[in-house]
């Protein structure tokens, strides 16, 4: 028995999430399996300065982001996590982003508007313009003639953990992480 048990699989090949260090002073590097920052990244996701990586990669680094998750699987995941008020996942499938969340013991799905203009990604809850009257000092946003947009999904989630809106009747509370895939040792080549 060792003093420190890793929550990571025995091999990074078995893991959808690979903890990396993206510091400006060095090249991107893989973090050692038993590194505390690797453990923290896998548990809580990342809120690093995303300017060094693409918006798509930054979104994928968030624990509540699920690529290729359809609404049936999102519902199953939220139910499996206890169907708690405000729990949520964001999924992307075929270039469309969807926020699935729990409110009043039922699961709702809401499209996230996404566009790229002049090389800059923009995200918002599809019809939500209710936050134009609020103070948005801590959230990175883009103001356009058609309303406010967020630069990435992390900023969108950060805003809606603090505010309800006309279209989102509850604050987001807990992102449901991707389940770790466990592969049986005999099935690996």
- For residue range 36-62, list pLDDT tens digits in order: 666 666 666 665 555 567 788 888 888
Domain boundaries, the chain: 12-60, 65-175
The architecture (CATH level 2) of 65-175 comes to: 2-Layer Sandwich (3.30)
Model confidence, pTM = 0.64
| CA angle, 66 then 70 then 73, to 5° | 85
Q: What is the pLDDT of residue 176?
A: 92
Chain centre to alpha carbon of residue 38: 17
């Amino acid at each position: 028995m060792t003093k420190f048990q890793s929550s990571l699989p025995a091999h990074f090949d078995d893991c959808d999430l690979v903890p990396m260090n993206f510091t400006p002073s060095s090249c991107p590097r893989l973090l050692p399996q038993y590194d505390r920052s690797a453990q923290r990244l896998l548990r809580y996701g990342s809120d690093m300065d995303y300017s060094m990586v693409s918006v798509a990669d930054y979104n994928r680094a968030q624990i509540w982001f699920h690529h290729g998750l359809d609404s049936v699987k999102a519902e199953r995941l939220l139910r499996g996590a206890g169907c708690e008020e405000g729990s949520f996942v964001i999924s992307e499938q075929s270039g469309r982003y969807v926020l699935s969340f729990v409110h009043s013991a039922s699961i709702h799905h809401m499209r996230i508007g996404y566009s790229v203009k002049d090389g800059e990604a923009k995200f918002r809850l599809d019809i939500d313009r209710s936050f134009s009257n609020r103070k948005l000092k801590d959230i990175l946003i883009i103001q356009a003639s058609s309303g406010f947009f967020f630069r990435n999904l992390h900023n969108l989630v950060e805003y809606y953990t603090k505010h309800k809106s006309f279209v989102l009747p509850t604050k987001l509370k807990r992102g449901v992480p991707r389940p770790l895939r466990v592969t049986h040792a005999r099935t690996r080549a």
